[in-house]
Amino acid sequence: MQLPFFYEENIPSSPSLFTLNEDTSKHCVQVLRMQENESLQLTNGNGILATCVITSPHKKNTVVQIEKIEQFTEPEQQILVAISPLKNATRLEWFLEKATEIGVTKIQLIICNRTEKQHVKFDRYKSIIISAMLQSQQTWMPKFSEPIKFGSIFEIDKAATKLIAHCIEDNKKLSILNMQLGNSCSVLIGPEGDFSAEEIKVALRNNYHPISLGNTRLRTETAGVVAAALIKNGIPL
């Protein structure tokens, strides 16, 4: 049976007593009704998995004995999805959840010419990513930072294979299913209304390959999930 799994940002580097934060303590004691001597696992989202035993249950500051610490290596396949914030925040939250479950290693919000909503609830979005990481039993959390301007993505994107999905009809578009992708891949997903023609030109000048995600027009959040799933699971590396 899988042990209860929680996120703690500052896990000690060696076995010791450790006090859980208030949210985790409350979930352990009041929601799961966990008691002394029961076991659980913690991750910091950076590859650490700590197996612990409760020594002092409390709804605000449960104390555990860390008995075993494992360090998992970072995923070999690095996937960056750079996506525009959406007017409907719920749709973006759905994307963040599903992209995390799929195994995307970095999510970057980009402000494009046609991005309607430029202010985001960053802390809420991060909490959704943490919950999705725990639900999918991963020890590495996608890197996630504050939104940047579209042009700034070219400065931070170091992927070996760079892709852009857009809706403009173009005979030069490649099917992602026919591409041989390396161990690092990025994909740009535009806002409602798509990237502007100038943004697409700039991306192409920066060595991004235009790709097709199928024969139907997808919503932004759907395109992000489809691209992530195809890169993660549909392409032999």
Domain ranges of the chain: 5-71, 78-233
- pLDDT score of 237: 32
* Residue-level pLDDT at 214: 78
The pLDDT value given to residue 129: 98
The alpha-helical segments, DSSP class H, found in the chain are 22-26, 89-102, 122-135, 153-156, 197-205, 220-233
The confidence score (pLDDT) of residue 201 equals: 94
* pLDDT recorded at residue 176: 59
Chain Cα centroid distance, residue 136: 12
Strands 63-71 and 48-56: antiparallel
Residue 236: its pLDDT value, please? 39
Query: What pLDDT score does 174 carry?
Result: 59
Under-70 pLDDT residues of the chain: 1, 170-180, 234-237
- Of 106, 85, 197, residue with least CA distance to 148: 85
Fold of domain 5-71: Ribosomal Protein L25; Chain P (2.40.240)
The CATH classification number of 78-233 equals 3.40.1280.10
CA–centroid distance for 38 within its chain: 30
| pLDDT value, residue 120 | 84
